[in-house]
């Protein structure tokens, strides 16, 4: 992608706006994960959410650091997508009375969030690269790795949990 200098300024604004939305998203995920841990019946699933809660707290800290460095503060802008995803998740978990069904519902909800995060960080990393923010690229890549890993772990767990739900 070839950009002129005016485009670069617009891209920088867009980049910061999306970092602020990502921070709001991660803060909301740290609030949602304790409920997901609590609602999980499968111990491996609860553990996966617990590990990812720790990682998510790290994502909050990393985004705050990037934002402070580029704007001087760590303010947020509302991420409407995470609001929608958490509302959907709460509704389907409420409807799932059977523990195994609830577990696969939690996995589905978790993976929707991870896939959204993977899209968000893939984009932010590309934009950071265009803007020449090499430090940010490395930080965003490290977050992206953890999101992809969390998604893969949920896929692995779903192998046995899905079978339990079908039995």
In the complex, the residues that contact Fe ion under the rule CB under 5 A are 56, 59, 117, 147
CB of 109 to Fe ion, least distance (A): 12
CB of 117 to Fe ion, least distance (A): 5
Longest Cα–Cα distance in the chain: 60
Nearer to Fe ion (CB atom), residue 21 or residue 59: 59
H helices of 72-166, in order, are 80-95, 99-130, 134-166
Nearer to Fe ion (CB atom), residue 109 or residue 165: 109
Nearer to Fe ion (CB atom), residue 58 or residue 99: 58
CB of 95 to Fe ion, least distance (A): 24
Kindly list the distances between the CA atom of residue 55 and the CA atoms of 30, 60, 131, 153, in Å, as whole numbers in the listed order: 10, 9, 26, 14
d(CA 46, CA 66): 30
Nearer to Fe ion (CB atom), residue 7 or residue 87: 87
Pair 118, 147: CB distance under 8 Å: yes
- The residue nearest Fe ion at its CB is 59
CB of 47 to Fe ion, least distance (A): 15
Pair 131, 66: CB distance under 8 Å: no
């Amino acid at each position: 992608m070839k950009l002129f200098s005016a485009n670069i300024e617009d891209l920088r604004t867009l980049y910061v706006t999306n970092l602020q939305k990502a921070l709001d998203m991660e803060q909301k995920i740290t609030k949602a994960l304790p409920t997901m841990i609590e609602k999980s019946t499968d111990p491996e699933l609860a553990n996966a959410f617990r590990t990812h809660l720790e990682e998510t707290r790290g994502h909050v800290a990393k985004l705050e650091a990037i934002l402070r460095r580029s704007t001087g503060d760590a303010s947020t802008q509302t991420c409407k997508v995470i609001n929608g995803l958490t509302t959907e998740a709460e509704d389907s978990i409420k409807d799932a009375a059977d523990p195994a069904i609830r577990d696969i519902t939690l996995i589905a909800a978790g993976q929707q969030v991870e896939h959204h995060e993977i899209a968000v960080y893939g984009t932010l990393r590309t934009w950071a690269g265009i803007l020449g923010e090499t430090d940010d690229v490395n930080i965003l890549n490290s977050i992206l790795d953890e999101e992809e890993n969390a998604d893969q772990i949920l896929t692995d767990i779903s192998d046995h949990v899905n079978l339990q739900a079908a039995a």
